[in-house]
Chain A
């Protein structure tokens, strides 16, 4: 057969089987504090974690501590009293014989060894971490993927203490219940539209996958009631990254949808330097502000942060350089700068509303001007800068004042043309993550986005800084680009591990088809071996991987009698102006991946492929 086929069980199913097997083994054995059952990386995606099981004669609280390379690097947690203990171990070191202390409250203790292989395959994931144990304590700085480097978290000493071995891309946040929320690793559509979100434990246990018809990209936000705002797409639309939904945390049901074309006209918005007709807004952040019951969206390709009313969806205000916008919009929605030190943000990311109503963001400052001004004002990477910035706005007299910034003085060394974030901890206490820094092959600052840097022989890096009252308290520098950074503790006061099978919630959308028929008879020939094709089927979709030569016309067909579904496969290199996450780009441009959701399909379909003037068999049938 010229096409390899595999059925891949959902991660949640695989984890449930592994957990069940562990619990059976636990029940069958006599595991004590002195002799615990240890399952390294039980949930398969978090290779600096383990789960241990043992029984105590009495109900007793138990503390576990991953003993650090220094005492200050210990990471531990005390779990509530129980007789049967099934405990997550997080914060293990890579390539290290880890010592983990298990101590019963006022009782016995033991130190076990958990050997962990080099999860970085010989690569050093960090350049430096400059901070103190007093400042960072047992927090870690977690960074999420924008390229080939996957998620990691670093302690005060710069040691990696958490890592994921699958590409859960974009934002990572801690939920109020202690779990993490992050993008799934199931790619829906190139270049980076994912199936939805995972609610997941730091030890890798997925409790829920929230699937979305339009997939997930860039950002999500937990509402006070636990429901989630998620950035998504309308797969039937000709535009992308201009939609947000509110989903029910328990059911995954979509409760509310905001289509940005209802409050902005894509035809009249003013363009950023990276604007394209399809990706006219490029939404990279959402924030809900309870005080004003409003949503703020960051639109990279309009150089603006846009605020709307949560209930009505009506436009309230826009923060951005008004150049190029229609005058009636400028008069009604834009702010007038006041104060002596003010600068607009360009192609910004990660807007945040502070408790007093100020608006913060990471100002990438890409191009340093709007598209209409590029002929005269464009800033090259070597002359540019990025910064964290905080604006104070007055929505009565529509004035805006810049009240804080960090990064401008560092110039090009802190310049990221894409991605990045800021975090507000308290007044004067912030994180500024410049995760998209690039240099060309000669070591000069580059505007190339991380995914394309290696194509020109360059390098990329991320710098994460925390400042408190103007003083730098932490400086982390790592190789590679990282979408965002987040400071958190690996153990939480909420859920650390809950047993039982996770849930797959929500629905996948209908995959957009190609209308036009190419009249062609079946050749009966199998797809050529040179295509190196494979099909990976999952519960709710399948993905066709194949290699084609540039210029070939390729269409995948699902055929069931007279019923035909067509999916065009482009064999032309795409020139992307935005590539916030290049994790899924193939180094060989001939390789394609086409994912089709089963939603809307019913029955058994033959998968066939048209290449130019011939229709080939794959020999694979997909049951929907």
Chain B
């Protein structure tokens, strides 16, 4: 599943299974590119991975709670616990390898 969420939805979904949080901004070129990459990543994992997109500028409290200072930032959560964090635009194999290690 790939879904853009607000803070409430994020908190509801982040603690369930393997979640990849994408903190993005609509004013960021690499974030736009990462959106295409994440669509490919979604196809790779299907229901095994939930991808939650969080608008950095619209969810300040959430970004502060997760210590996100820039975008794009990817945080991989397993049952709500942070497993790995990647900053900046990433290629699909990097993200896929990261997820596979924790699946």
Contacts and interface: CB of A to CB of B under 8 A. Distances in A.
Contact of A516 (B26, B29, B30, B92): B92
Interface stretch (A72-80, A466-474, A564-572): A564-572
Given A516-B37, A516-B40, A518-B36, A572 B29 contact: yes
B28 A572 contact: yes
Contacts of A518: 33, 36
Given A277-B87, A550-B27, A555 B93 contact: no
A327 interface: no
A357 interface: no
A607 to B, nearest CB: 19
A54 to B, nearest CB: 60
B36 A516 contact: yes
A572 B87 CA distance: 13
A568 B35 CA distance: 13
B59 interface: no
A8 interface: no
Given A277-B87, A518-B36, A570 B29 contact: yes
Nearest to A278: B88
A391 B36 CA distance: 52
Given A238-B94, A516-B37, A551-B27, A612 B89 contact: no
A569 B94 CA distance: 18
Contacts of A555: 33
Contact of A551 (B28, B87, B89, B94): B28
Given A516-B37, A516-B40, A553 B91 contact: no
B32 interface: yes
Contacts of A575: 70
Contacts of B89: 568, 570
Interface string B61-103: 0000000001000000000000000010101111000000000
A571 B40 contact: no
B79 to A, nearest CB: 22
A355 to B, nearest CB: 45
A464 to B, nearest CB: 37
B22 to A, nearest CB: 14
A30 interface: no
A514 B90 CA distance: 9
Contacts of B40: 516
Nearest to A548: B29
A570 B93 CA distance: 19
B93 A515 contact: yes
Contact of B91 (A514, A554, A569): A514
B56 to A, nearest CB: 12
A351 to B, nearest CB: 30
A482 to B, nearest CB: 30
Taking each of B25, B32, B70, B92, which has the highest tally of chain A beta carbons within 10 Å of its own beta carbon? B32
A570 B30 contact: yes
Contacts of B30: 553, 568, 570, 572
B8 to A, nearest CB: 27
Contact of A553 (B33, B87, B94): B33
Interface of B: 25-30, 32-33, 36-37, 40, 70, 87, 89, 91-94
9 contacts: A514-B33, A516-B40, A516-B91, A518-B36, A548-B29, A550-B29, A552-B29, A553-B30, A568-B33
Given A515-B93, A516-B36, A572-B30, 14 more contacts: A514-B91, A515-B91, A515-B92, A516-B33, A516-B91, A516-B92, A548-B29, A550-B27, A551-B28, A551-B29, A553-B29, A553-B33, A572-B28, A575-B70
Shortest 9 CB-CB contacts between residues of A and residues of B: A553-B32, A571-B29, A551-B27, A553-B29, A516-B37, A516-B36, A552-B29, A553-B33, A515-B92
